[in-house]
């Protein structure tokens, strides 16, 4: 037996049984809750000897020896950004009562550079002790799920949820089950694992319309970013009859006051979530990229970069509410300025947390490859959380983030080892 210090400061007993060729795993867990901390549990800083790219892994909290959070790649990514995102992941896992802590990976490199995949491979190789045993990662900005899975496969680790899957009694069977869920076909020619996070964002918007007593057809939305999250959110909002009048990608803003034909636009995306301007349908106005923020809509959904909404542009926002699909989309100062104008922000760790919650429901065997089960569960959870956040805002003046932080600060205690079936 070895003693391992857990992030909550209590001593957790862990066994260090030999596992061939990989680090040992804890088989018992602390039963004290991990608290939301301002300082992360661990920061790792990596430099790629071939390109000079730098990458970071920040583990904000470990629970039961596990932490979860995607890996992003973008030119200019900083350790502070990754720390903020890791803290956000810890908020998500606590808010959705998942038995895992929060972490994030980030690489400061252009994902469109031809060397990007090799850089990602070398980053994962360097992080191997963590991705082998403790860090369950996934896609994020600039890193699609299929790409990170290919890298894990190349490293002999199967799939990016490896650190959890290897805990199962029969990891091969668990991997097959998890792949079945991720790759389940859904409408629009998409895969469940690619759209579930955006589906949750769409329902955060729909729950807001319900709260306002407003029917979807009278509700307008603008979405910044039409990649994995923004694209799926747009798709499910369009399906529900909401008018998505404005979208933006890295190349600019597209607008149609009567509502955009979202499926047609999504068909024009490239692998980076950019819409081919040479094949745009008639009647779409092309505007500068920043115009998305001042769209005259009910709901603004930032679904691209972090820190999209700052004190410099917060006064441009005309929407009645901001629903954060992107992580850390609104700076704290900008959020305070919006709140002072009566504009609430539904925080990332609720609005976009469907992605991580669903991944863990899948790992824990609580949802399967039947998409309807996943959609039903996420829709119900999202509507109830958003209704509570908006009620606290309307009745008591607490911002949705303040209410959400109260939930995140009181994660349910782990009562035993996490069992991956
Ligand atoms: N993918 C996930 O599972 C997931 C889950 C939770 C949160 N998120 C968050 O959602 C955000 C988007 O992630 P993603 O996976 O959808 O990324 P993605 O790479 O699939 O898509 C990004 C989109 O944003 C656009 N974009 C980039 N820079 C822009 C700019 N300056 N202005 C306007 N548009 C811009 C791109 O053109 C593209 O359409 C990130 O903040 C990420 O952390 C992602």
Quick: pLDDT tens for 21-78: 334 444 333 333 333 447 999 999 999 999 999 999 999 999 999 999 999 999 999 9
Same structural domain, 140 and 198: no
Query: Which residue is closest in CA terms to ligand 1's atom 32?
Result: 250
Dist CA 308 CA 217 (whole Å): 27
Instruction: Say which residue, 16 or 419, is predicted with more confidence.
Output: 419
Query: Which residue is closest in CA terms to ligand 1's atom 41?
Result: 326
> Is there an atom of ligand 1 within 6 Å of 305 CB?
yes
The answer as to whether 419 is a domain residue is: no
The CATH number that applies at residue 278 is 3.40.50.720
Same structural domain, 106 and 198: no
Q: Does the pLDDT value for residue 396 go beyond 60?
A: yes
Instruction: Note the pTM of the prediction, 2 decimals.
Output: 0.90
> Is there an atom of ligand 1 within 6 Å of 383 CB?
no
* Catalytic status, residue 154: no
Query: Which residue is closest in CA terms to ligand 1's atom 44?
Result: 140
> Is there an atom of ligand 1 within 6 Å of 334 CB?
no
Same structural domain, 138 and 228: no
Where is the domain boundary, 120, 135, 167? 167
Contact 244, 259 (CB under 8 A): yes
The answer as to whether 420 is a domain residue is: no
Q: Mutation test of ligand 1: which of 225, 286, 316 has the most ligand atoms closer than 8 Å to its C-beta?
A: 225
> Is there an atom of ligand 1 within 6 Å of 228 CB?
yes
Pairing mode, strands 299-302 and 321-323? parallel
Same structural domain, 327 and 239: yes
pLDDT at 15: 29
The CATH number that applies at residue 9 is 3.40.50.10860
Quick: pLDDT tens for 122-140: 999 999 999 999 999 999 9
Same structural domain, 199 and 156: no
> Is there an atom of ligand 1 within 6 Å of 354 CB?
no
Q: What token pair was written down for 254?
A: 């597209």
Ligand 1 centroid to residue 4 C-alpha, Å: 36
The answer as to whether 175 is a domain residue is: no
The answer as to whether 60 is a domain residue is: yes
Quick: pLDDT tens for 345-395: 999 999 999 999 999 999 999 999 999 999 999 999 999 999 999 999 999
Contact 344, 157 (CB under 8 A): no
Q: Which of 92, 104, 243, 385 is catalytic?
A: 104
Same structural domain, 285 and 369: yes
Same structural domain, 119 and 217: no
Ligand 1 centroid to residue 28 C-alpha, Å: 37
> Is there an atom of ligand 1 within 6 Å of 139 CB?
yes
Same structural domain, 163 and 298: no
Same structural domain, 266 and 135: no
Same structural domain, 243 and 118: no
pLDDT at 414: 81
The answer as to whether 421 is a domain residue is: no
- In the chain, the number of structural domains is 2
The answer as to whether 42 is a domain residue is: yes
Q: Mutation test of ligand 1: which of 58, 83, 141 has the most ligand atoms closer than 8 Å to its C-beta?
A: 141
Helix ranges restricted to H, 27-170: 79-95, 116-126, 128-133, 145-154, 162-165
Q: Mutation test of ligand 1: which of 193, 231, 244, 273 has the most ligand atoms closer than 8 Å to its C-beta?
A: 273
Where is the domain boundary, 119, 136, 167? 167
Same structural domain, 398 and 348: yes
Dist CA 246 CA 285 (whole Å): 9
Where is the domain boundary, 167, 199, 227? 167
> Is there an atom of ligand 1 within 6 Å of 229 CB?
yes
Domain assignment of residue 270, given as a range: 188-408
> Is there an atom of ligand 1 within 6 Å of 274 CB?
yes
The answer as to whether 258 is a domain residue is: yes
From the CA of 304, give the closest atom in ligand 1: 24
The answer as to whether 9 is a domain residue is: yes
Query: Which residue is closest in CA terms to ligand 1's atom 34?
Result: 249
Within 10 Å of residue 15's Cβ, how many Cβ atoms?
11
Residue 2 confidence class, pLDDT cut points 50, 70, 90: very low
Same structural domain, 156 and 219: no
């Amino acid at each position: 037996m070895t003693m391992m210090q857990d992030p909550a400061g209590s001593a957790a007993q862990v066994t260090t049984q030999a596992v061939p060729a990989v680090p040992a795993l804890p088989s018992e867990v602390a039963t004290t809750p991990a608290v939301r901390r301002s300082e992360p549990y661990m920061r790792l800083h990596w430099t790629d000897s071939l390109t000079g790219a730098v990458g970071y892994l920040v583990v904000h909290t470990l629970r039961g020896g596990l932490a979860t959070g995607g890996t992003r790649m973008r030119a200019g990514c900083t350790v502070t950004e990754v720390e903020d995102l890791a803290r956000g992941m810890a908020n998500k896992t606590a808010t959705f009562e998942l038995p895992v802590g929060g972490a994030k990976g980030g690489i400061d490199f252009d994902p469109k550079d031809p060397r990007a995949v090799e850089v990602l491979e070398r980053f994962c190789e360097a992080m191997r002790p963590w991705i082998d045993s403790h860090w369950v990662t996934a896609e994020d900005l600039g890193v699609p799920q299929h790409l990170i899975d290919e890298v894990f496969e190349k490293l002999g680790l199967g799939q990016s949820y490896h650190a959890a899957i290897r805990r199962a009694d029969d990891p091969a069977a668990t991997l097959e089950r998890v792949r079945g869920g991720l790759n389940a076909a859904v409408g629009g020619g998409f895969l469940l694992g690619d759209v579930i996070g955006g589906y949750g964002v769409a329902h955060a918007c729909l729950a807001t319309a319900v709260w306002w007593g407003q029917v979807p057809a009278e509700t307008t939305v603008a979405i910044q970013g039409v990649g994995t999250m923004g694209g799926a959110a747009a798709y499910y909002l369009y399906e529900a009859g909401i008018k998505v009048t404005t979208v933006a990608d890295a190349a600019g803003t597209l607008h149609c006051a009567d509502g955009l034909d979202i499926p047609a636009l999504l068909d024009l995306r490239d692998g980076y979530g950019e819409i081919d301007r040479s094949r745009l349908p008639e009647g779409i106005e092309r505007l500068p990229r920043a115009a998305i923020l001042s769209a005259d809509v009910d709901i603004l959904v930032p679904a691209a970069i972090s820190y999209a909404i700052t004190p410099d542009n917060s006064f441009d926002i005309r929407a009645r509410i901001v629903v954060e699909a992107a992580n850390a989309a609104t700076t704290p100062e900008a959020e305070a300025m919006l709140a002072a104008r009566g504009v609430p922000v539904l925080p990332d760790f609720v609005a976009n947390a469907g992605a991580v919650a669903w991944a863990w429901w899948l790992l824990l065997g609580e949802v399967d490859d039947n998409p309807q089960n996943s959609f039903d569960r996420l829709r119900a959870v999202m509507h109830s959380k958003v209704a509570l956040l908006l009620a606290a805002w309307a009745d008591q003046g607490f911002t949705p983030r303040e209410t959400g932080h109260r939930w995140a600060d009181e994660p349910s205690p782990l009562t035993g080892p996490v069992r991956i079936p």
